[in-house]
Amino acid sequence: MTQDYTPNASFVDFAGEDDINIEIDHAISELNFEEAGKLQASLNNDNSEEIQRQVDGALARNQSLIEGYHQDAEKSIIQIELEIDTKLSKLVKDYKNRFLQMKAAQLEEIEQLRSEWISSHDRAEQLGNQKVESLLYTSKVLANCKCFDEAKTLRNNVQENTDNILKNECKEIDNHYKQHMINMIARHESMLDGLYNQLLNDIKIIEGQGKIDRSVVKSQEKIGIAMSPSKSIQNVATSRDISMNDKKLIISQLSPRKSPSPSSKSPRSPRSPRSPVAPGAYMSPLSPRY
């Protein structure tokens, strides 16, 4: 014959899980399965709420970690961009100074060659004038010797060809310096092109390193986000305020799940005779038997 068993409500509300299990065992021993079922359902409900609270807290902390990784990555990328801009500005400034120095040296070299050309041209032209004067003097000598026809012919030829005489004297010098100037300008342009290409190469190196640094930050962010559930699980596992059974349930909710294949379904674990559930009793979605 069953006896009425009605535990004190305040005792049930504030008793620990072990105490409630004792009450359940006592109700079962008295064959009061209805009351045992109510106590088990109440215990399951309390556990479910606490577990859900722990899961929500862990998920919130996990989301905070993820947001922290995002923020850290954004700050790092902004810092990388600033460093790249600083390096590029300094690089361009340095190359600008090198360009101006190179250009100044080249202009000085060109001016020196031009000065030498002018001096050499003037000397050649002076020699040409001396040659013209010598020929005209010869025409006078011929005239003094009464060779007027020869004198006139020589005089006329010299006067008509004075420009050609001067050009012939300067031609070799002018051609020499002209070719020298062409080669020098080509060499200068090649040097400037080389300096510019070197600048482009150094820019690529800085931008390439920046790309690598950004990639590293993104990878670290992805790794951190991927590892954040593990950190949450570790925090739960090392907590002293959560029972071992609740830890298992919370960790099962936080752990990544794999869908089992149809051929590998594990058999349902038998219910513990210590914690029977009455028909119609509340079962938490977090329960491993759900």
What phi-psi label fits residue 258: left (phi over 0), alpha (psi between -120 and 50 degrees) or beta?
A: beta
- Among candidate residues 188, 246, 227, 258, the one with its CA nearest the CA of residue 54: 246
pLDDT tens for each residue of 253-270: 566 554 444 444 444 433
Token couple for 35: 């009351």
What are the distances in angstroms from CA 198 to CA 39, 83, 91, 190, 254?
A: 82, 20, 11, 12, 54
169-204 burial, b if ≥16 CB within 10 A, otherwise e? bbeebeeebeeeeeebeeebeeeeeeeeeebeebbe
pTM: 0.56
100: pLDDT strictly greater than 70: yes
Domain ranges of the chain: 18-253
pLDDT tens for each residue of 176-234: 999 999 999 999 999 999 999 999 999 999 999 999 998 888 888 787 777 666 666 66
In percent, how much of the chain has pLDDT > 90? 36
What are the distances in angstroms from CA 65 to CA 155, 162, 231?
A: 106, 95, 9
Cα 58 to chain centroid, rounded: 32
Contact, 117 vs 177, CB < 8 A?
A: yes
- Among candidate residues 167, 123, 189, the one with its CA nearest the CA of residue 115: 123
Task: Give the model's confidence band at 23: pLDDT under 50 very low, under 70 low, under 90 confident, else very high.
Answer: confident
